[in-house]
Amino acid sequence: MTEETPGFEEKPDVPSGATPDDAAPKAAPAPGAAPAGDSSAQLAGLTAQLDQVRTALGERTTDLQRLQAEYQNYRRRVERDRITVREIAIANLLTELLPVLDDIGRAREHGELVGGFKSVAESLETVAAKMGLQQFGKEGEPFDPTIHEALMHSYAPDVTETTCVAILQPGYRIGERTIRPARVAVAEPQPGATAVKAEGTEEAPAAGDEKDNGPEEG
């Protein structure tokens, strides 16, 4: 058994002619380390990629906003068309019922709306009103060619403008849509009445003026 001599340590073998510095192990480069020039190039590449992603994101956002606007316009157009089609369908249906409503009105005027017929007639009028049907046309209102149809014409001294003096058939509308104008008899002011009225409004001489213009006392 060999005894170790105290005070001596084993040293690695050094080749002849080599210095002690050559014998020391060199530190290995850190893993992942890159030269400074390569880091700048990578950073510039990442920045360019980020700009491209931002540009693509902006384009996609614009496309999405445009699609949303088109969809909202489509929904509004479909809803508007649906309402229009519904109004047209209701107007066509109620137009076919107008002769029946006219008969009911004439029966009411002559006192013939009694018994079960009265109940059925009132139910029909109630349903028509719920569907938006409105009756219009009253005696004494000014004549409006957009909602009135004149079937009779006359002159009257007590009117100052063309006036509906009789309702021959009431008019009907649904909302702002007129499905039948009111058929009326109209009266216009008497020809020459305005001129006569204007002449009749001349001021009479005052009482004092008549006295002054009278014959002088002798």
Report the C-alpha gap between 161 and 153 in whole angstroms.
13
Dump pLDDT digits (tens) for 44-90.
888 888 888 999 999 999 999 999 999 999 999 999 999 889 888 99
pTM of the model: 0.56
Specify whether the CB–CB gap between 181 and 171 falls below 8 A: yes
pLDDT for res 48? 86
Report the C-alpha gap between 63 and 56 in whole angstroms: 11
Question: Residue 191's pLDDT band (boundaries 50, 70, 90)?
Answer: confident
Contact 135, 169 (CB under 8 A): no
Place of tokens 């006392």: 217
Tens-place pLDDT, residues 133-166: 999 999 999 999 999 999 999 999 889 999 999 9
95-117: pLDDT as tens digits: 999 999 999 999 998 998 888 89
**CA–CA separation, 149 vs 7, rounded Å?**
136
The answer to whether the CB of 124 falls within 8 A of the CB of 93 is no
In terms of Cα–Cα distance, which of 216, 131, 147, 143 is closest to 186? 143
Report whether 140 contacts 159 (CB < 8 A).
no
Q: Which domains does the chain have, with CATH numbers?
A: 132-201 (2.30.22.10)
Contact 165, 186 (CB under 8 A): yes
